[in-house]
Amino acid sequence: MAEKEDLGLSLSLSFPQNHHSLQRNLRPSLVPSSANSCSSPSTLTLNKHSWNDSSPPSDHNSESFRAEMGSIFRGIDMNILPSTADCEEEAGVSSPNSTISSVSGKRSEREGNGDELEIEKSLSKDQSAILEENFKEHNTLNPKQKLALAKQLGLRPRQVEVWFQNRRARTKLKQTEVDCEFLKRCCENLTEENQRLQKEVQELRALKLSSTQFYMQMTPPTTLTMCTSCERVAVPPNPPSSTTVDPRSHHQLAQTHQRAFHINPWAPSAARRPLDALRPRS
DNA sequence: AATGCGCATCCGATTACGTCA
DNA sequence: TCTGACGTAATCGGATGCGCA
């Protein structure tokens, strides 16, 4: 199908501001507002261009419009193809709910009732190309343009209308697929990021545990006793040291002067300097 | 001004049918 | 030749907006 390529990522259509139906139904597509972990898809926005010389769709029911249509198409056979479709297109408009277009029954039954009824079941390449060109410019038609296009292509206005409806549906489907793919990539990237962060947390926890175990193996903080009189450090009875003082014999009268303090290996003092090398580095 | 009706158009879902691998 | 997948024209039903009485 030739139009598949036309549904590609470069699709960018704009819409008239005042067309209620398409404003209602064609919502903005998924486009990230800012850079994130996902690369943005090409800016796929469904917009609509209004026809340059077209009147607003809201006035297509007005008397002036009807009068205009009457003057334009009076005496012109707009339906080159099927003569039987005249009753449908007589007013220049068509509706899926109209009597003709809503007739029930299978197509083969509806269309196989005589040689005079020869409705093309598929559009020619030229017709499709022209429709495609028009769709690229504006993906909706007002009645005037629909009639003109139908006349140009030798199709019933209803056929043109249906073609545009189906074309919009295909465009939307394609857009949905693109959006879905974009979200899928976002999800993949976020999952990847999440796994990476979880791994990092595990590593940090393991590092913290190993540090704790290391210092647990060290001797607990020693409680030393200093004589406030001579400022010599007294140690517990065992083992005896030549450079320390036995608090039981030393200044026995001054025991009340003794005060205890702890050696904190992490304290910012000169006393712990030898431990600095053992301190885990961040 | 509010209301109901008819009309036109839209969309989503579905059907019918042709084409092609 | 048969068959299933696919694309597309067409239909159906519901929703919505607009004009008019």
- Tell me, which fold does domain A3-113+120-187 have in CATH? Arc Repressor Mutant, subunit A (1.10.10)
Query: For position A232, what pLDDT does the model report?
Result: 62
Assess whether pLDDT exceeds 90 at residue A197.
yes
d(CA A87, CA A256): 121
Assess whether pLDDT exceeds 80 at residue A239.
no
Query: For position A135, what pLDDT does the model report?
Result: 92
Which residues 145-164 in chain A have a CB closer than 7 A to strand C?
158-159, 162-163
Contact criterion met (CB below 8 Å) for A110 and A55? no
Question: Which positions of chain C lie under 7 Å from any protein Cβ?
Answer: 7-20
Question: Which positions of chain B lie under 7 Å from any protein Cβ?
Answer: 6-13, 15-18
Query: For position A165, what pLDDT does the model report?
Result: 93
Residue with the bigger pLDDT between A217 and A36: it is A217
Contact criterion met (CB below 8 Å) for A48 and A140? yes
Of A82-91, A160-169, A198-207, the poorest mean pLDDT is in A82-91
Residue A137 backbone phi and psi in degrees, to 5: -80, -45
Inter-CA distances, A197 with A116, A130, A191, A205, A206, Å: 73, 54, 10, 12, 14
Percent of chain A with pLDDT over 90: 15
Which residues 201-260 in chain A have a CB closer than 7 A to strand C?
none
Query: For position A234, what pLDDT does the model report?
Result: 56
Which of helix, strand or coil describes residue A141? coil
Query: DSSP assignment of A197-225, as one string?
Result: HHHHHHHHHHHHHHHHHHHHHSPPPPEEE
Segment A9-19, tens digit of pLDDT: 333 333 333 33
Query: For position A143, what pLDDT does the model report?
Result: 86
